[in-house]
Amino acid sequence: MPAFATITVNDREATPVAHSFTPRMENAGTFEWRESNGVPIGDGKFTLSLRQNENGNYKARIRLEMPVVVNETINGVTVPKVERMSMADVMFTFSERSTTQERKNTVGLLANALAASQAQINSVLTDLENIY
């Protein structure tokens, strides 16, 4: 069982930047990590949960939220405001009879499908281009 510890992942900048998400809380089996940006509404957030449903299948969910904050001034008072949000929400469903290798393969295939070198998928997700 892994410890609830900091998660560090690189972005896709020309010179990759490491983003560190530190453990914040656990609530009913959902774990939350945050990347502090000075203003809590602007924190990047990872959540991860694992549940077993009534059919015996396991549901693992990972969610990433990356807000963009702007300062809004009204009547001379400046307050931070979330202007927009980028979000990813991935749900894995595994049979209670699945093997560790089957789960590793599913996770690995998805992770590799999200690589920049996968032109079709990358163009749809990052360039917002449709496939023809």
- Write down the pTM of the prediction: 0.87
Angle at 130 between CA 13 and CA 113, to 5 degrees: 55
3-state SS class at 130: coil
Q: What is the pLDDT of residue 132?
A: 87
Instruction: Please state, in angstroms and rounded to a whole number, the distance separating the CA atoms of residues 73 and 3.
Output: 42
pLDDT in tens, 29-63: 899 999 998 889 999 999 999 999 999 999 999 99
pLDDT band at 1 (very low <50, low <70, confident <90, very high): confident
